[in-house]
Amino acid sequence: MANVDFRTVVKSFGTFTALHGLDLSIKSGEFVALLGPSGCGKTTTLRMLAGLEFPTSGDIIIGDRRVNDLPPGERDIAMVFQSYALYPHMTVAENIAYPLKKRGVPKAERGPMVAKTAEMLHLTALLDRKPKQLSGGQQQRVALGRALIRDPKVFLLDEPLSNLDAKLRSQLRAELIELHRRLGRTMVYVTHDQLEAMTMADRIAIMEGGNLQQFAPPAEVYARPANRFVAGFIGTPGMTLMDGMLVQSGNGWAFETEGLRLRLPRLIDSAKPGAAAFGIRPEDVHLGSGDLTGEVVLTEATGHETIVTVAIAPGVRVIARIPGTPALRIGDRVPVTLDAARAHVFAAGPQGARLNHPSGTADADEAFNIATPLRVASKGVLS
């Protein structure tokens, strides 16, 4: 086990900078997911940790060793690739034993270790097969086996489940969680799938444009996104985000956008009037009561819940998540409540910082009456 530290790590490819001074401290034994859209720098980060790319500046620490100048084979890490990267001419047993062979472990010792690893991953019956005779899930298990047998300080996983179908993915996800619990090793997991990050990781590092946007446990990332990018990226369906103006209203704040005026919970002291963004998660939009009236424009029933898109003002649509399958049809007019105590306010711009009071909803509730969630006052109605 070992902690991993990135200290102001910059990576440039020619004139393109993929990573702008990353600072990231991963605790020993922690499962950290690097999450972000394509090109956000997450894979570059992992590859630098692996030693497959070298940082332009900054330090990478594993344990208490600076590993910048160490080749991959000497970093005491193991990596699982998206494409599995199994050696096609070797059997499953030879693939799993390969890292031991390269480290000079005698053949007599390798056999029992391979057998033990294979048993753990349910591969015992497949040891004599070649990779191409295996299914995708089995191949990824072999790749995991090849990583496990080394007993490395840090496991690196580069989108290991991306090439698998949905059912296998959820099965392997559970196996990986179990594996991490059993081994207690530090794991760094790159993914663009928020479901994987949310369900598996102790902490999620959300990246965009070569910058770390937020590094926090899944629940916090969801409940208190650090900025507008994180707010929009996390959650399915996504948070409804609207651009408008932040205005002072009495001794509090209000948010104005096309034909709408919304009273807001307490904001941080540095909040200033001007352009801003208002966000609200689908589960914080309630249909059936409220001062606002909206028109149903889309319903998507998934069985246990229905995602309803409602137009509450011209050009302003919010998404609501309703349990079950309510009798709503497109064109229906329904009363709408936006639970403003749970709303999110961000500064203007794609990565605008969070302006809500940092202590979150509890504090916001103090400012408003807890018994009656803040109703949003509307100036205009639908056209």
Partner 1 sequence: MTTLTQTPLERRYARLGLLLIAPTVLIFCAVIIYPLVSALYLSLFKVFTPTLESSWVGLANYRELLASGMFWSALVNTLVWTAGTLTLQIVLGIGMALVLHQNIWFRSLARSLILFPYFISTVVAVLVWKWVFNDLYGILNHLLMQAGITNMPVDYLGSMPNAMISVILVGAWKYFPFVVIAVLARLQTIPEPLYEAARIDGAGPIARFFDVTLPQLRDVLVVIIMLRAIWDFKEFDLIWLLTGGGPSSSTETLPIVVYRQAFALNQMGMAAAWAVSMMAILLVFMIVYIRKTRDKGAV
Figure out which of the listed residues 10, 52, 61, 115 binds partner 1, where binding follows CB under 8 A: 52
Q: Does 151 bind partner 1 (CB under 8 A)?
A: no
Of the two residues 17 and 82, which places its CB atom closer to partner 1 in the complex? 82
Between CA 376 and CA 383 the distance in angstroms is 18
Of the two residues 143 and 254, which places its CB atom closer to partner 1 in the complex? 143
Distances (CA, A) of 54 to 15, 58, 154, 156, 175: 16, 10, 18, 16, 32
Question: 92-111: which residues touch partner 1 (CB under 8 A)?
Answer: 98-99, 102-103
Tell me which stretch binds partner 1 (CB under 8 A): 81-89, 166-174, 259-267, 361-369.
81-89
Residues 264 and 355 sit within 8 Å (Cβ to Cβ): no
* Site track for partner 1 across 111-150, x = CB under 8 A: ---------------------x-------------x---x
Of the two residues 85 and 216, which places its CB atom closer to partner 1 in the complex? 85
Which helix (H) or strand (E) is 42 found in, with range? helix 42-50
In the three-class reduction of DSSP (H, G, I as helix; E, B as strand; rest coil), residue 198 is classed as helix
Measuring CA to CA, which residue among 7, 157, 180, 184 is closest to residue 77? Answer: 157
Between CA 35 and CA 38 the distance in angstroms is 10
Distance in Å, CB of 242 to partner 1, minimum: 43
Between CA 280 and CA 290 the distance in angstroms is 16
Could you tell me which residues come within 8 angstroms of residue 6 by beta carbon, excluding any fewer than 6 positions away? Answer: 22, 23, 24, 25, 45, 49, 58, 59, 60, 61
Tell me which stretch binds partner 1 (CB under 8 A): 11-19, 48-56, 306-314, 350-358.
48-56
Distance in Å, CB of 147 to partner 1, minimum: 9
User: Other C-beta atoms within 10 Å of 226: how many?
Assistant: 20
* Site track for partner 1 across 289-328, x = CB under 8 A: ----------------------------------------
User: What does DSSP say about strands 285-301 and 274-280: parallel, antiparallel, or unpaired?
Assistant: unpaired
Distance in Å, CB of 194 to partner 1, minimum: 24
Of the two residues 79 and 313, which places its CB atom closer to partner 1 in the complex? 79
Residues 291 and 374 sit within 8 Å (Cβ to Cβ): no
Figure out which of the listed residues 5, 12, 81, 317 binds partner 1, where binding follows CB under 8 A: 81
Question: 56-75: which residues touch partner 1 (CB under 8 A)?
Answer: 71-74
Sites of contact with partner 1 (CB under 8 A): 50-52, 71-74, 77-79, 81-83, 85-89, 98-99, 102-103, 132, 146, 150
